[in-house]
Amino acid sequence: MKKLIRKLGRFGLFMDAYGARAGNQFARNVNVFYAEKAGELRLTMRTALAREGFEKLRDFSNLEELRSVLGTHSPDLLIIDSELPGCTKLIRDIRFGRLGENPFLPIIATFWSPSADFAKEMAGCGPDDMLIKPFSPGKILDRVNVLVERRKPFVVTSNYIGPDRRKDPSRGSTDANFIEVPNTLSAKMKGKTVRPEDLQKAIQGAQKEVNEMKMRRNAFQISFIVALVKPRLEKGDNSSEMLDKLRQLKKMSDDISGRLKDTRFGHVAELSSSMSRVAESLIENLFEPNSKDIELLKPLADAILLAYNPESNAQDMAGQITSAVDSYRKRQTPPAKKKTAG
């Protein structure tokens, strides 16, 4: 056994000590899924977690099998090799409720020296934490402890659902845009009983919050896109960029329409449907757009924004849109070249 442990130690994934550890007495109740293509690493993780008291560990060498199992079984923690093909899509599907029973399950993604672009792409999918290999079992157990004791609340934007990654310390946990999501990992590690009916109720409550926040974010994004495209459409802009923005506009409008069932916003369904039809008409007739469609963009966008943000002041919302558009345009404008003397 010691020979095997020393061999695995070359991967930097095993503790120096061979003796058993007491671990958390409640860890045996936690269901852990671990997806990793390297068989040696799967064995190492299984051994290390077993020493900490985790008895319910299921490992996977590919995402096809993991996807299949997630369709019927929900773990309390998912540890996943980010370099497995399809990993980013799998995590995003979980967070957007397209895969599995619990879109809020804690997820740790692992890497071998990721590029900056790949790390950014992975962060944008919504994992709770990202860990660079090689790592010791102690390191991953530290991350698990953070998820148990200090898991970040979730935030929702037009294209992201996941833990808050903002670095501004002035934003406290009372931010109205934060959502405290169910955390069965924390509950079980603290010895609490997780009843399926209670978990389902908690998930449904959090999903309702996510759904309403997603509609509000999309409503803001619709107004933002309209503020960008309307003046350019009026000038005859039929570029590929314009086509892309109009497709985004239709996508946001359709997304809102698909989220309206059983919400307090059901009475304004026609607004988002109308915006979708106008966007589709402009897409189909980009080279000869109907002037009425262009004129409808702003009143529809204003109505959608206020309908999904009834507690907000219209003037304040307009100011936020203007500020967002100005910031966007500044980012798109290349810096002026300095003139050289001579």
Do 69 and 63 meet the contact criterion of CB atoms below 8 Å apart? no
Query: Strand 129-133 to strand 77-81: parallel, antiparallel, or no bridges (unpaired)?
Result: unpaired
pLDDT reported for residue 230: 95
Q: Is pLDDT at 189 greater than 90 in this prediction? A: yes
- Predicted confidence band at 314 (pLDDT cuts at 50, 70, 90)? low
Do 301 and 226 meet the contact criterion of CB atoms below 8 Å apart? yes
**pLDDT digit string, tens, across residues 104-139:** 999 999 988 778 888 889 999 999 999 988 888 788
Instruction: Name which of 147, 105, 100, 108 is nearest 127 in CA terms.
Output: 108
pLDDT reported for residue 9: 43
Spatial separation of the C-alpha atoms in residues 245 and 147, rounded to whole Å = 38
Instruction: Name which of 73, 37, 30 is nearest 54 in CA terms.
Output: 30
Beta-bridge partners for 152: none
Mean pLDDT for 17-23 is: 44
pLDDT reported for residue 168: 44
- Predicted confidence band at 323 (pLDDT cuts at 50, 70, 90)? confident
Spatial separation of the C-alpha atoms in residues 204 and 187, rounded to whole Å = 17
Do 272 and 246 meet the contact criterion of CB atoms below 8 Å apart? no
N- to C-terminal Cα separation, the chain: 76
One-letter amino acid of 115: S
pLDDT reported for residue 277: 95
User: What are the structural domains of the chain?
Assistant: 2-165+173-194 (3.40.50.2300), 201-332 (1.20.120)
